[in-house]
Amino acid sequence: MRKLTAYLLVVVAVVGLLAMGLGWESTQRLRVATTTSLYDTGLWSYLEPMFEEEYDVELDIKYAGTGIALEYGRRGDVDVIAVHSKSREEQFVADGYGVERVPFAYNYFVIVGPAGDPAGIKGMTPEDAFTQLSETGTASFVSRGDDSGTHGKEKAIWASAGYDYEDVRGTGAWYIEAGSGMGPTLLMTSEKQAYTLSDMGTFLAYKGDIDLVPIVDQGSILLNVYSVVACNPEMNSNVNYEMANNLVNFLTSPEIQELIGNYGTNQYGNSLFIPCADNEPIS
């Protein structure tokens, strides 16, 4: 029995040591679920150290499509979300999961495709372009297919063009559902020399790696507004509301708004986002 006791002691000691090493420490952490387009553009990596320094907190940034980001929020697995789907954010707040929807930046969606524009959609409205793609069916279209904000926008364009989205999905091999983030979808679109709908920020950030150009970039439906929503501590008591609110205030503060507005000018030659705290653009 002495050996068994010794064994058990070793088990407890090892597990205890390892648990300590794994960091069940007391540093404050703020858990953010963000849309992939804000992550893939590098905006979060740029802002993260500034926020961490100002508030002495560890920012845990989880990148996910808008759909899954909202689900994390509903389940209480994150404290704050940064996404881009107005109607779903409003629903999230109306259901009591979010405290308030606070827009902080915007840009535009763009339909990108091969420079030769094989489907001949240049100069059309987004709705007409989609109609043309669907009716000819010769050029492929790569859909995010992941219930993200961009995917939501794509569905909205189909609806606005008079299509039932479920019908579009079933019309043939030209319609490809990637099921991945914006970056990977752009890379796939480039490989296939197809068309896709992208937010301008991610497209500019990936422009150097892909062989695609903007084809359709005019149309009020293409407006893309990013909002930050603090999760409601009344729904999930573990939510770090105070720090979540700090992040909302941080993103909408004049200094950070200016930094967001200039972000990307050096690296990509264009600014990727237009700041819009207290001044949400209306399409």
Partner 1 sequence: MTELWDGFVKAIQLIISFDPDVMEAAGRSLWISATSCAISMLICLPLGSLIHFRNFPGKRLLVSVIQTLFSLPTVAVGLLVFVFISRAGPLGELGLLFTPAAIVVGQVILISPIMLGLIISALSGVDRAVTETATSLGATRVQAAIVNIREAKYSIVTALIMGFGRAISEVGLSLMVGGNIKGYTRTITTAISLETSKGELELAIALGMILIFIALVINIALHRLQRK
Cα separation, 265 vs 7, in Å, equals 61
Cα distances (angstroms) measured from residue 237 to each of 82, 110, 154, 224, 240: 20, 40, 35, 32, 8
- 11 vs 159 by CB, closer to partner 1: 11
Q: Which residues are CB-neighbours of 139 under 8 A, at least 6 positions away?
A: 113, 118, 119, 133, 174, 194, 195
> By CB under 8 A, is residue 75 in contact with partner 1?
yes
> By CB under 8 A, is residue 122 in contact with partner 1?
no
Angle at 73 between CA 94 and CA 228, to 5 degrees: 70
Residue from 63, 163, 165, 174 that binds partner 1 (CB under 8 A)?
63
Judged by CB under 8 A, the stretch of 81-89, 148-156, 205-213, 247-255 that binds partner 1 is 205-213
Cα separation, 3 vs 206, in Å, equals 61
Quick one: tokens of 167? Answer: 């019908």
Q: How far is CA 84 from its chain centroid?
A: 7
Judged by CB under 8 A, the stretch of 1-9, 107-115, 151-159, 273-281 that binds partner 1 is 1-9
Judged by CB under 8 A, the stretch of 136-144, 158-166, 182-190, 273-281 that binds partner 1 is 182-190
- 237 vs 266 by CB, closer to partner 1: 237
> By CB under 8 A, is residue 79 in contact with partner 1?
no
Judged by CB under 8 A, the stretch of 9-17, 148-156, 165-173, 217-225 that binds partner 1 is 9-17
SS3 category, 12: helix
Region 229-258 residues binding partner 1, contact defined as CB under 8 A: 236, 238
Quick one: tokens of 87? Answer: 């109607």
Q: What are the residues facing 39 on neighbouring strands?
A: none
> By CB under 8 A, is residue 62 in contact with partner 1?
yes
* Site residues (vs partner 1, CB under 8 A): 1, 3-4, 7, 10-11, 14-15, 18-19, 21-24, 31, 40, 45, 48, 58, 60-63, 74-77, 180-181, 183-184, 187, 206, 209-210, 236, 238
